[in-house]
Amino acid sequence: MGGPTLNTKRIITTYKDLVVYQVSFLAAKQIFVVSKRFPKEETYSLTDQLRRSTRSIPVNIAEGWAKRKYKNVFIRHLNDANGSCEETKVWLDFARDCLYIAEEEHKSFLDQYNKIGAMLFSLMKRWQNFDKRD
């Protein structure tokens, strides 16, 4: 699975340069792997919902970035990404309570998604500070 590697440079020229995109993309890949262990009967419910919510975060970041010329549209996509982040945490709670993931795994994922949520909030507040070379 080709994907981003964490970027430490400060110049942002594409959504892939945003650390929150990178972190959320990698976390979604981790969830995909872990959710392969879920029971077959969860394929079209918990497994599907969890995968969709995790993937929605980097997708909304990318779509918002493409429309960043319009501040309200960009912010709306970041809000949607944050909503998906919160949704992911609920699905993770279900996965833990159904004993599909261990408590330690649950805590690790929650920590990641809390970080992603904080990064999204921060990006909403300071997105215009980036060097956006077109």
Give pLDDT tens digits for 8-41.
556 888 999 999 999 999 999 999 999 999 999 9
Residue 73 and residue 83: Cα distance in Å, rounded? 15
Q: Judge whether residue 131 has pLDDT over 50.
A: no
- Total domains in the chain come to 1
Give pLDDT tens digits for 55-64.
999 999 999 9
Range of the domain at 44: 15-127
Residue 49: CATH number of its domain? 1.20.1440.60
- 3 is a domain residue: no
Asked whether the CA dihedral 118, 119, 123, 124 is positive or negative, the reply is: negative
- 21 is a domain residue: yes
- The mean per-residue pLDDT over the stretch 63-83 comes to 95
When the pLDDT of each residue in the chain is averaged and rounded to a whole number, the result is 90
The whole-number pLDDT of residue 82 equals 98
- 25 is a domain residue: yes
Q: What is the percent of the chain with per-residue pLDDT over 90, rounded to a whole number?
A: 80
Residue 83 and residue 77: Cα distance in Å, rounded? 10
